[in-house]
Amino acid sequence: MENAEVMPPPELPALLDAAFGTDGIFQELYVLAVKELHPEPFKRRMALEARARRIREVAVQIVPGLLQTEQYAREQFKAHDLRATPERVEELVTARMHRQAILRGKPDADLGWILDEAVIRRGFGGPEVMREQLERLIALTCTPTTTLQVLPFSAGGYALMGGALTLLTLEDGEEVAFEEAITTGTMLEDQVSADRHRRSYDLLSACALSPGDSARFITSVMEDLQ
């Protein structure tokens, strides 16, 4: 870390600012360092995400980054790039945990997720990793600021099956959509695209299990883990 070869843990910048009285400088530098780990479209998405007062996301294959446990994130990054060094994987995990910390500082944000059943059933890292991850999802199914729904296989096909979708509503009411494929992402900042994707999200939400039924569904999958 001293040689700028690995990322520091996400809690360190705030501790350094407190110790040296630097008024957030270390935290600002950390945010810049985190962004440099990601391709340009994802940097834009992260910047807007930090400003959003409302987030809606549809996940088709893997647990959304904002909901991942540390170990699930680690296993996902290892599976995504088999050539990634352990150091690179840890950098990405640290950056992901920092991204989650930004949202923890937004207690009034309105957050919603729709997860395809495949997300719940696709294992990363073995039963213990998945059990911890599913427990976290259950806790998020319905809280004062979050809503999580599972879209079961029985719902059939739908328009967004080709990739993940994130809808962001900013402080000024502006809406943007982010379409994500395996290695690329596209930010759509025109109102027509935002309206179209919001309608798609609302239709999926109507077809998905309720938060309560989603919690029971995830619990049943977790109980089957061996």
Q: What is the CATH number of the domain that holds 179?
A: 3.30.870.10
Predicted local confidence at residue 184, as pLDDT: 72
Question: For residue 124, how many other CB atoms are within 10 A of its CB?
Answer: 20
Judgement on whether residues 158 and 56 belong to the same structural domain of the protein:
yes
Judgement on whether residues 27 and 118 belong to the same structural domain of the protein:
no
Task: Judge contact between 210 and 142, C-beta under 8 A.
Answer: no
Predicted local confidence at residue 5, as pLDDT: 43
| Tens-place pLDDT, residues 128-178 | 999 999 999 999 887 888 999 999 999 999 988 878 899 999 999 999 999
Answer yes or no: is 101 within a domain: no
Task: Judge contact between 9 and 26, C-beta under 8 A.
Answer: no
Predicted local confidence at residue 111, as pLDDT: 93
Judgement on whether residues 47 and 158 belong to the same structural domain of the protein:
yes
Judgement on whether residues 158 and 58 belong to the same structural domain of the protein:
yes
Predicted local confidence at residue 222, as pLDDT: 95
Judgement on whether residues 200 and 143 belong to the same structural domain of the protein:
yes
Answer yes or no: is 156 within a domain: yes
As for how many domains the chain has, the answer is: 2
State the Cα–Cα distance between residues 46 and 42, nearest whole angstrom: 6
- pLDDT per position in the chain (226 positions), as tens? 443 444 556 566 667 667 767 766 655 545 545 444 455 667 788 888 888 999 999 999 999 999 999 999 999 999 988 999 999 999 999 989 988 887 777 778 899 999 999 999 999 999 999 999 999 999 988 788 899 999 999 999 998 887 889 999 999 999 999 998 766 778 888 999 999 999 999 999 999 999 999 999 999 999 999 7
State the Cα–Cα distance between residues 53 and 182, nearest whole angstrom: 26
Answer yes or no: is 87 within a domain: no
User: Pairing relation of β-strands 52-59 and 164-170?
Assistant: antiparallel
Judgement on whether residues 158 and 217 belong to the same structural domain of the protein:
yes
Q: Which residue has the tokens 């959304």?
A: 64
Answer yes or no: is 138 within a domain: yes
Answer yes or no: is 75 within a domain: no
Judgement on whether residues 31 and 57 belong to the same structural domain of the protein:
no
Answer yes or no: is 155 within a domain: yes
Predicted local confidence at residue 8, as pLDDT: 58
Answer yes or no: is 70 within a domain: no
Judgement on whether residues 160 and 173 belong to the same structural domain of the protein:
yes
User: How far apart are the two ends of the chain, measured CA to CA in Å?
Assistant: 38
8-state DSSP, 156: -
- Sheet containing 175-180: order of strands: 146-151, 110-116, 52-59, 164-170, 175-180, 185-188
Judgement on whether residues 111 and 217 belong to the same structural domain of the protein:
yes
Judgement on whether residues 23 and 47 belong to the same structural domain of the protein:
no
Predicted local confidence at residue 77, as pLDDT: 94
Judgement on whether residues 123 and 206 belong to the same structural domain of the protein:
yes
Predicted local confidence at residue 80, as pLDDT: 87
Predicted local confidence at residue 182, as pLDDT: 63
Predicted local confidence at residue 66, as pLDDT: 93
Predicted local confidence at residue 39, as pLDDT: 52
**Tokens encoding 98:** 């920092």
Answer yes or no: is 111 within a domain: yes
Task: Judge contact between 207 and 150, C-beta under 8 A.
Answer: no
Judgement on whether residues 176 and 124 belong to the same structural domain of the protein:
yes
Containing structural domain, residue 56: 40-65+106-223
